[in-house]
């Protein structure tokens, strides 16, 4: 049979937004590789996505709608297949009942980055719920603190041009592990190193990236702001502040300079649990090396003081004037450079969109158990798996089990969240639908076109929401917009046309040239074009207008530490992408079963050896894991990888059984890494998970042919 190859975009929650080449035979995807010509992808896919076709072609794909016939939480055995007509009518009836009884704000859409595509992820579903007047979702769970901090200091989610990092003489990877979460940046970092750059990783854990850097600085969790303030003080005292650039392009330097009197290097080192000479040595490098590039990861924002930490770190290249130079400055996200505006597509002119309350997605456990008034009585989940990924898992599951909660889930395979749905609707995957992708790690926009058949009756998210709107009796013409029309609406006002992307697949859409210094002459996206080292508007939120150190809540609680002496982090691993691949045999074999990593001192104090079974617990809950004894962590600090599914885990619980619903100082984001636990031994047989009775596809998936190239 003839084979054809088609370009497309990786849809997953990663800054790299790779362009791939997909080989298709008889309507089926049979091979996948990275696009060799793409300036950022450069022919390589990550360890997760190299096996993406295991997910696309897996025997566990959902191919028909399901409706619940048994108790919530019982698994797939409590459901039966249904026709689309029956399933959509059930959805419409459930939404109508909530709206008639409790008003439109009783309906909550819950979605995030299961796909990063603008069309399938952020248009028709949100358009429907805006038109209904449903509660609006505050999408905080990943970057809420960073967005708020960057808005405060730079005026948006902007920073240095990523490809320019090759020109840096000092690269600081702060809370970033690109070998696991931003793989395609690493070759650019390596080019900089070949040109003489020194690479430093700042991370409490000795990650793969830290191990391959020239230097690893390991502060205590939640003390990043203290370290940044100590470094700023060292730069000031060394006379390395770029006073001319500061005067021309920032506001608030005199006030911040005075604040730094409170932060001698000795205080910062003590707060961070670091030797003074380590902080001073890094301060010397930053003070004397131009250009310095600070790539800030998202993991460091998972504690209470996250907003202030990111403000303090992002102040460093303002004070040193590194933004003058290509390869200099700070970068958390490029999303603010991309001109696509989703809101005008969600709420197009002429289509009613009543005002509505906003509910924080990171607080879903409390929203569903009494925090929301009026209560949420209909929940529609798409592009997300909150039962696995949201904090305070036990309280969340109690909310999902509510008899009065009507839940709809759009999914590609049966997840933890599906176990609590009233209706499950089968959704397409990336090769089967049209989508449009920008990036939060580079400056290219990509068009993805459908090139394979969807399995069974699976439909794109957009079409599912069109059918729900029709079943609700909504006849507005904007609910008949095709996916191509939605893509064209998203591109309106950008320098890229749909025709150009259809011909070339991707285009540089931000107006920031490769290798440039976009803020060399100022021009930050603030009202006056100046970066804000002092932001008076924060005082209205109860936040210090100057960058400061907000200590973590649990990690800094000495009283709590007596009962739960270990601070627990839950970083991303190399082979799981949030919860997307956590049911696939190859990915889970490479990741291994749940483990909690302990320093040898902590393991010895508890009489634990490598491989022992333990319960990791606090007052919120517990999960089971095997012990991994190593020095990737420091005494008093434990870590386990996130993204496992409870239904496939020992004890039917994951790390989110112990995480808290608590907001960051800015952005109301979650505090997954601000968590204390204790670890107790348990019998080894408890680590053998009891497979769900409905997991017939698992053995077949193990035997399925490998189709990813």
pLDDT at site 700: 35
Residue in the block written with tokens 């041009």: 161
Rounded distance between C-alpha atoms, residue 443 and residue 503, angstroms: 18
* Distance of alpha carbon 639 from the chain centroid: 18
How confident is the model over 515-523, as a mean pLDDT?
A: 95
pLDDT at site 87: 98
* Residue range 353-378, pLDDT digits in tens: 999 999 999 999 999 999 999 999 99
* Residue range 218-237, pLDDT digits in tens: 999 999 999 999 999 999 99
User: Residue 427: which of 580, 646, 576, 652 has the closest Cα?
Assistant: 580
Does CATH number 3.40.228.10 belong to domain 159-332? yes
How confident is the model over 271-291, as a mean pLDDT?
A: 98
In the predicted model, is pLDDT for residue 699 greater than 80?
no
In the predicted model, is pLDDT for residue 664 greater than 60?
yes
In the predicted model, is pLDDT for residue 170 greater than 70?
yes
pLDDT at site 1: 67
pLDDT at site 689: 78
* Residue range 672-695, pLDDT digits in tens: 999 999 999 999 999 987 777 565
pLDDT at site 138: 98
Residue in the block written with tokens 């390589």: 44
In the predicted model, is pLDDT for residue 260 greater than 50?
yes
SS3 467: helix
**In the chain, pLDDT over 70 holds for what percent of residues?**
97
Structure tokens at 243: 């006073």
Tallying the residues shown for the chain, one arrives at 709
Does CATH number 2.40.40.20 belong to domain 558-687? yes
Mean pLDDT (the chain, rounded)? 95
- CATH code assigned to 66-142+357-508: 3.40.50.740
User: Residue 552: which of 635, 676, 395, 638 has the closest Cα?
Assistant: 676
In the predicted model, is pLDDT for residue 707 greater than 60?
no
* Residue range 297-343, pLDDT digits in tens: 998 999 999 999 999 999 999 999 999 999 999 999 999 999 999 99
DSSP states along 412-433: SB--TGGGG-SEEEEB--GGGS
pLDDT at site 690: 75
Rounded distance between C-alpha atoms, residue 422 and residue 93, angstroms: 12
Q: Where along the chain do its domains lie?
A: 4-57, 66-142+357-508, 159-332, 558-687
In the predicted model, is pLDDT for residue 140 greater than 70?
yes
Rounded distance between C-alpha atoms, residue 148 and residue 595, angstroms: 33
Q: How confident is the model at residue 145 (pLDDT cuts 50, 70, 90)?
A: very high
In the predicted model, is pLDDT for residue 487 greater than 80?
yes
- Superfamily of the domain at 4-57: ADC-like domains (2.20.25.90)
pLDDT at site 698: 35
């Amino acid at each position: 049979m003839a084979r054809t190859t088609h370009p497309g975009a990786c849809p997953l929650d990663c800054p790299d937004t790779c362009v791939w080449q997909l080989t298709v035979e008889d309507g089926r995807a049979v091979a996948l590789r990275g696009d060799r010509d793409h300036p950022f992808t450069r022919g390589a896919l990550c360890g997760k996505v190299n096996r993406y076709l295991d997910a696309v072609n897996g025997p566990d794909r959902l191919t028909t709608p399901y409706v619940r016939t048994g108790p919530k939480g019982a698994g797939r055995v409590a459901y039966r297949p249904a026709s689309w007509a029956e399933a959509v009518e059930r959805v419409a009836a459930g939404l109508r009942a909530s709206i008639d009884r409790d008003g439109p704000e009783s309906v909550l859409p819950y979605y995030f980055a299961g796909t990063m595509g603008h069309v399938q992820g952020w248009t028709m579903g949100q358009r429907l719920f805006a038109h209904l007047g449903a509660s609006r979702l505050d999408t905080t769970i990943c970057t809420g603190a960073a967005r708020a901090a960057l808005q405060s200091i730079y005026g948006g989610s902007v920073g240095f041009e990523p490809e320019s990092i090759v020109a840096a003489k000092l690269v600081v990877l702060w809370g970033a592990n690109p070998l696991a979460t931003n793989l395609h940046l690493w070759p650019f970092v390596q080019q900089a190193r070949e040109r003489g750059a020194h690479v430093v990783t700042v991370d409490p854990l000795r990650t793969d990236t830290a191990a391959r850097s020239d230097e690893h600085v390991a502060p205590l969790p939640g003390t990043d702001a203290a370290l940044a303030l100590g470094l700023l003080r060292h730069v000031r005292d060394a006379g390395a502040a770029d006073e001319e650039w500061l005067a021309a392009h920032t506001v608030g330097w005199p006030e911040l300079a005075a604040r730094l009197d409170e932060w001698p290097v000795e205080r910062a080192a003590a707060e961070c649990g670091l030797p003074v000479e380590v902080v001073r040595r890094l301060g010397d490098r930053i003070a004397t090396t131009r250009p310095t590039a600070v790539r800030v990861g998202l993991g460091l924002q998972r504690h209470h003081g996250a907003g202030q930490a990111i403000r303090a770190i992002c102040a460093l290249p303002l004070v040193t004037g590194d933004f003058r130079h290509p390869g200099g400055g700070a970068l958390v996200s490029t999303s603010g450079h991309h001109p696509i505006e989703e809101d005008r597509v969600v709420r197009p002119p002429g289509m009613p969109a009543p005002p509505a309350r906003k509910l924080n997605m990171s607080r879903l456990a409390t929203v569903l158990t009494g925090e929301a008034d009026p209560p949420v009585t209909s929940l529609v989940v798409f592009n997300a798996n909150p039962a696995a990924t949201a904090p305070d898992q036990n309280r969340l599951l109690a909310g999902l089990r509510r008899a009065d909660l009507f839940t709809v889930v759009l999914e590609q395979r049966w997840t933890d969240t599906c176990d609590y749905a009233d209706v499950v609707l089968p959704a397409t995957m990336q090769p089967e639908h049209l989508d449009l992708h920008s990036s939060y790690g580079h400056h290219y926009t990509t068009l993805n076109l459908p090139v394979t058949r969807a399995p069974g009756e699976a439909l794109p998210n957009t079409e599912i929401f069109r059918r729900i709107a029709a079943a609700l009796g909504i006849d507005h013409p904007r609910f008949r917009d095709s996916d191509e029309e939605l893509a064209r609406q998203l591109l309106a006002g950008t320098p890229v046309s749909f025709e150009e992307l259809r011909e070339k697949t991707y285009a540089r859409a931000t107006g920031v040239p490769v290798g440039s210094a976009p803020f060399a002459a100022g021009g930050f996206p603030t009202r006056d074009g100046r970066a804000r080292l002092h932001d008076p508007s924060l005082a209205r939120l109860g936040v210090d207008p100057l960058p400061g150190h907000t200590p973590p809540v649990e990690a800094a609680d000495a009283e709590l530490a007596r009962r739960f002496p270990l601070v627990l982090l839950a970083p991303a691993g190399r082979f799981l992408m949030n919860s997307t691949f956590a049911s696939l045999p190859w990915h889970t074999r490479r990741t291994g079963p749940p483990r909690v990593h302990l320093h040898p001192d902590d393991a010895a104090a508890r009489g634990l050896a490598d491989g022992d079974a333990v319960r990791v617990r606090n007052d919120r809950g517990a999960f089971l894991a095997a012990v991994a004894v190593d020095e990737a962590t420091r005494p008093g600090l434990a870590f386990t990888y996130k993204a496992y599914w409870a239904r496939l885990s020992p004890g039917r619980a994951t790390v989110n059984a112990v995480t808290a619903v608590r907001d960051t100082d800015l952005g109301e984001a979650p505090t997954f890494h601000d968590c204390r636990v204790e670890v107790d031994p348990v019998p080894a047989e408890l680590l053998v998970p009891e497979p769900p009775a409905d997991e017939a596809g698992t053995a077949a998936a193990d035997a399925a042919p490998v189709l990813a190239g």
